[in-house]
Structure 1
Amino acid sequence: MGTVNTVYWIFTIGLAILLLTAIIVLLFLWKNQGQLREENRKLRMSYDEIEKKYTGVHAEQLRYKLNPHLFRNALNAIQSHAYQSYYALDKLSGVLDYILYDTDGRLVTVKEEIEFARNFIEINRLKTSPLFDIRIKNKINEADPRCHQAVIAPLSFINPIENAFKHADLQSDNAFISVSFSFENDSWFVLQVANKTNDLPPSLNTRGGLGNDIYLDRLSSVYGVEGYSCKESINNGIFITELRIKIS
């Protein structure tokens, strides 16, 4: 009997310790879950406050309709490079998904917009020689909170990049296109696009035509006069566009 009682008490004590441990673990998880809920609530409030700043901007102003000829040119480029079709179609699919679903009347993070720009660049790369110099300089660390938390209007980067491929001298040996992403002074996002032009530099006020005017009108509507700047310059045959957007 003594042995049976000893086993019984050992089993009972072991079960009690196990239950106590389970209760402690559950209390710990419940506490952490509460903290996570509170952090998510604060992030949601912060995001809602940023969204409210743009309530005066109609959803259509946040959307940017691309010139359909852009996709015709992209498809022609894909068709002429059959060996790269799968890769290019995958990038084009990402671009279309971004336009159709991810940017439907809402703001996007800087990270999302940069990812879109990189896909767009890869599609347009097909129009150039494999030896053509395309430089992408992302000076933003993905661990930077601004990369995931700062929000901007979708397709804000498209026009300078599209114009670079449209107007660059793609034939010269020293031709290039450079695209740079960076933050400045904790308040601004900076996109700089540069390309070598041909021997007859384009006029600053005609480059991009009507599409450029629509693009600038949209930036002004979304960000206001104080919220952005877009400057163009030509220096030694190099055309430079610098877009600065004030971030929240």
Structure 2
Amino acid sequence: MSPFYYCLLIIGIIAAILLIGYLYWKTRNLKRQNELLIRQSREISSVAFPDESIDYKLDPHLLKNALNAIQSHAYQSYHALDKLSNVLDYILYETDGKFVKLKDEIAFAQNLIEINKLKISPLFDLHIRKKISPEAGELFIVPFMTINPIENAFKHADVQNENSFISVVFEVMDDQFILIVSNRIQPKQFTTSNLGGLGNKTFAQRLKKIYGSDYHLNTEQKEGIYTVTVKIKLYKND
């Protein structure tokens, strides 16, 4: 090989080495710049949009919904305790005598219903109707005459059936208090003996002992619906 070509070969090798070195340096430099840009971009995002990040982790609407749920349960508990307190007051202080005012007995029954509502779904079909004038509310009745039919309705209602219901009607006609309680019962309870049992018998005996012939009690079971109708004579405070 001539000295001229030898020199060209040496120059070519040196140029190639320099080019490779330059490309390597350039590549490293670009890589560092890219990493720096990515890091800066992340820092900018975290600084520029802090609320977005926080909202995603602690959504105020979710917290508000949770608070509403807690308040709802707290209100239900307070509401139930308030009704239970009213029931206890009635038992302890309002029933010392032989008779109570009808309006007080009805209030007691309504408190009892509110407490029993805790056992069923808020969507359960519960009808309460009261047709009692203020004057009739001042008439007198023996206390606790409303307990048995209402408690049995909540005890035996078929709450799993979408067509299930409980209906309670308070009414006064002339001098008679009328209580009608109806509910759809479970198929396995389609025998009257299972509905109330000893409680119904005791209730009937109590009515007869206190009111003699001044009452009427009727139970009916038809097409899966059990109905109790009680009619009791009311007295004036003479």
TM superposition score normalised by structure 1? 0.63
Which structure ranks higher in relative contact order (CA pairs < 8 Å, sequence separation ≥ 6)? 1
What's the CA shift for 1:83? 4.8
Q: How many equivalent residue pairs? A: 163
Answer whether contact 2:190 2:224 (CA < 8 A) is retained: no
What's the CA shift for 1:187? 2.7
What's the CA shift for 1:211? 2.1
Q: Which residue number corresponds to residue 245 of structure 1?
A: 232
Unaligned runs of 5+ in 1: 1-80
Larger Rg: 2
Secondary structure of 1:130's partner?
A: coil
AA in 1 matched with 2:184: K
**Quick one: percent identity of the two aligned structures?**
51
Unaligned runs of 5+ in 2: 1-72
What's the CA shift for 1:82? 5.1
What's the CA shift for 1:237? 1.1
Answer whether contact 2:102 2:137 (CA < 8 A) is retained: yes
- For the aligned residue pairs, the C-alpha RMSD in angstroms reads 1.4
Q: 1:111 aligns with which of 103, 107, 129?
A: 103
Alignment of 1:64-213 (within 5 A): 83-142=75-134, 145-148=135-138, 150-184=139-173, 186-213=174-201
Distance in 2 separating the partners of 1:97 and 1:238: 34
Answer yes or no: is 1:228 the counterpart of 2:220. no
Higher helix share: 2
Distance in 2 separating the partners of 1:82 and 1:219: 39
What's the CA shift for 1:235? 1.5
What's the CA shift for 1:147? 1.4
Structure 1 segments (4+ residues) deviating >4 Å: none
Q: 1:216 aligns with which of 197, 204, 219?
A: 204
TM superposition score normalised by structure 2? 0.65
AA in 1 matched with 2:229: E
